[in-house]
Amino acid sequence: MENSRDARFNAVATRLGHSFDGEIRVGGHYAPVVRHGAELYISGQVPRVDQTVVVTGRVGTDVTLLQAQTAAQICVMRGLALLRQTLGSLDQIERVLRMTVYVQCSQDFTQLSEVADGASDILHEILGEAGVHTRTSVGVFQLPKNASVELDLVAAAKTTAG
């Protein structure tokens, strides 16, 4: 069990210094996760820990690349926490299909893919090859709560036990 995806998730959470076990609140009339058959759609996640968005501001002026990568890591951990809550275990994920990463950035910041790498690396670390996904990274003018990064995910659940 120590090499399970859930154990790897817990190890990453410890390394990041945050718990992702609490409730992930919704601030409107939408669902944090929608399941349609084997596909699971995860709503946009910002780098919120408890009630605080921990990385805010514009990447390239207020926020460094390293801080933005950490923000992306926190975002994807929130997404994985929602998948774990929904499926009971990250071992029930067949594959992450798609991730879109939005970076609130300065006009001349072009390292959007490098920001997204922070999240992609976590998916691969925890899920192995099942974490390899298609991806788009986009620079935007503003994000909710002044978050530096927001991302959403599409994943597929295993259709049979095992």
Per-residue pLDDT of the chain (162 residues; tens, 9 = 90+): 468 999 999 999 999 999 898 777 777 889 999 999 999 999 999 999 988 999 999 999 999 999 999 999 999 999 999 999 999 999 999 999 999 999 999 999 999 999 999 999 999 999 999 999 999 999 999 999 999 999 999 999 998 754
Distances in whole angstroms, Cα of residue 109 to Cα of each of 8, 19, 33, 139? 32, 30, 31, 8
Angle at 57 between CA 51 and CA 63, to 5 degrees: 115
Name the β-bridge partners of 45: 151
What SS3 state is found at 161? coil
